[in-house]
Structure 1
Amino acid sequence: METLENSELCFPHLFNASCRRPTRSHSEAILIYVLLSSLSLLTVFLNLLVIISISHFKQLQTPTNILLLSLAVSDFLVGLLLCFQIMLIEGCWLLGDGVCVMYQLFAYIITSSSVGTMVLISVDRYVAVCDPLLYTTKVTHRRIKVCVVLSWFCSSSFQGLNLSDNLQHPSRYSTCLGDCVFAINYIAGLADLMLTFIVPITVIIVLYTRVFVVAVSHARAMRSQIAAVTLVTVKKSEIKAARTLGVVIVVFLICVSPYFCVTLVDEQTVLNASSSAFLICLFFLNSCLNPMIYAFFYPWFRKSVKLIVTLKLLRRGSCEANML
């Protein structure tokens, strides 16, 4: 009996000081490992394809694609962080309190940077559709790069301040060895909710709605002036634009809303990473879906994937290939 009880501890030799592992059936544990491992590998793989495509082929290095590159980098890092989440699902954190806090900090920075990049993408598309004549003068490579750097810097600074108490006292909220717990007070949690969820979501919805309205109005104007053959193309592009914008907004809301709703309800947000695994994994799932939503709808991405998989990008001068 004593041996059985000790086997349920994260650190059996520490007895009462150690946390206990959650009791799960063998089939349930295998299912969790398979799902999280698959999600991690798929997220890393898909975003790595986007990173290689935009970084290697010069023709793809447009202002919009620079934003996609920033998004892919943050989502790629999220895929790597999922490896730590697998450890938390097991219920025992074996890397120490300091690494636990750094993991949480990087998770917050990366996800908030991803949200910030999505806002920049919505602004980019808004200018391109609603003010196309001035797009090339307003949206330049230099301005986009500055915005990306500022997005990452602001995310790092804000989240570092948000989790400063946890950084100063890594084990303050741990109740036993093998636990990985972080805490955010109500004010900091409310600020994070506003700046990482409510404000960005509002901006994205408003801008994308405006883009959709302008696109529909342009399509209606064209239908009254151009030939029937072109009308079919306009209808298809209108439907595709509506579907893409709808997928972007709905999937993002589905993935991130549950986590922030829990944060909003709690007066004192104290999350045990093991008990909130589902919410966090759903939050991270968006990083796997982003390259599908933002990149798989572009023909140049499918073409670049073929060149990458067949290793043709290793040929001399492949970076100058025509991808559009």
Structure 2
Amino acid sequence: MDGTGVTQLCFPELNSSCRRLPQPRSESALLYTVLALVSLLTVTLNLLVVVSISHFRQLHTPTNALLLSLALSDLVVGMLVMPIEGLRHMETCWLLGRLMCAVTPYISYCLLSASVGHMVLISIDRYLAICDSLLYSSKITLKRVTLLICLCWACSLLYNGCIMMGHLKQPDRFSSCHGECVVVISHTAGTVDLFIAFVGPCTVMIVLYTRVFVVAISQMRVIRSQTVAYNVPAAPTVKKSERKAARTLGIVIGVFLMCFCPYYYPAIAGVETSTSSSYYALLSWILLTNSCVNPLIYAMFYPWFRKAIKLIFTLKILQPHSREMKLL
């Protein structure tokens, strides 16, 4: 508190202004620093992915096109959504006006939905690469993947437009005073969103990754039986590969569930989702951190990404013909 005993308002010149809830300066400074670091880290990691895949010609593959689009989505989350959400929760007031109140939540939901869609497409891509490897190159082309990416974005824009149509038309309908931006998703719409944007994609990912894991294990067993038949001591390497595959798949699915499950708590509990709820800030930031973790999951496990980072930080990408460098 400021110690003056005077009630602080979001907009002092307006009698209908909401009350501002001041925080101690030390606490505000610490939280602002943490939020800024998280936002900066999200932007930096995803920007590295974007620069790497865009610059090096060898990385222009269908799979990396999905990673590039996913990184662009998460980059905008770190650059736009995180700072605005941080400002909202730290200032306890909406200071950006009616238009931004209508547009910002819509953009945020579109980016997060598109991110989920990209993860599903990546799981399908990996499933086809492992389970239908002979026909993969003919089925999955850069043109087809680009079309799927555009379709994913279009569906996200249309879907969230339907979910948030009421808010877009009248963004201040749930605001009790000037300086609030309240988004309310009804229980019915929240339940539909739960199944379309979470349960459905999560089920597809788990089923496909389970199938990939089973096929990978069967292939490893075939290799093991062949090495035993020819007396080649390669079994320990196979076991290590099995453990690595299981660990990677567990990280992919586990992080997705940890970040998205809490956000859908209101829909699971049978209540409406409202940004004015006391727990909404925590749920939304857990969800937003997925955009920071995505490049770690989908990119940093690749050796070419580590090589690209070294070339970027050493400024070797500025050299002539650097686009032709071999990273794979």
Taking structure 2 as the reference length, the TM-score comes to 0.93
What are the within-5 Å matches in structure 2 for residues 279-318 of structure 1? 279-318=283-322
SS at match of 1:14: coil
Cross-structure match for 1:65: 64
SS at match of 1:260: helix
- The 1:271–1:234 alpha-carbon spacing in structure 2 relative to 1, beyond 3 Å, is same
CA deviation profile, 1:51-109 (whole Å, cap 9, x unmatched): 00001101011111111111101111110110101111121111112201211000000
CA deviation profile, 1:106-151 (whole Å, cap 9, x unmatched): 0000000000000000000111111111111111111111111100
List gaps (5 residues or longer) in structure 2: none
SS at match of 2:95: coil
SS at match of 1:225: helix
C-alpha distance in structure 1 between counterparts of 2:311 and 2:218, whole Å? 38
C-alpha distance in structure 1 between counterparts of 2:278 and 2:178, whole Å? 14
List gaps (5 residues or longer) in structure 1: none
Cross-structure match for 1:180: 181
Cross-structure match for 2:10: 10
Cross-structure match for 2:259: 255
Cross-structure match for 1:126: 127
- Could you tell me whether the CA contact under 8 Å between 1:256 and 1:283 is conserved in 2? yes
State the 4+ residue runs in structure 1 displaced beyond 6 angstroms.
Answer: none
Structure 1 residue identity aligned to 2:82: L
Structure 2 residue identity aligned to 1:14: L
C-alpha distance in structure 1 between counterparts of 2:270 and 2:20, whole Å? 26
RMSD between superposed Cα atoms in Å: 1.9
SS at match of 2:308: helix
C-alpha distance in structure 2 between counterparts of 1:194 and 1:51, whole Å? 31
C-alpha distance in structure 1 between counterparts of 2:32 and 2:71, whole Å? 24
- The 1:228–1:206 alpha-carbon spacing in structure 2 relative to 1, beyond 3 Å, is same
Cross-structure match for 1:29: 28
C-alpha distance in structure 1 between counterparts of 2:139 and 2:21, whole Å? 54
- The 1:66–1:288 alpha-carbon spacing in structure 2 relative to 1, beyond 3 Å, is same
1:224 Cα offset (Å): 1.1
- Could you tell me whether the CA contact under 8 Å between 1:50 and 1:295 is conserved in 2? yes
Aligned pairs, how many? 323
CA deviation profile, 1:147-206 (whole Å, cap 9, x unmatched): 111000000011011111111112111111111111222322222111110100000011
Task: State the identity as a percent.
Answer: 50
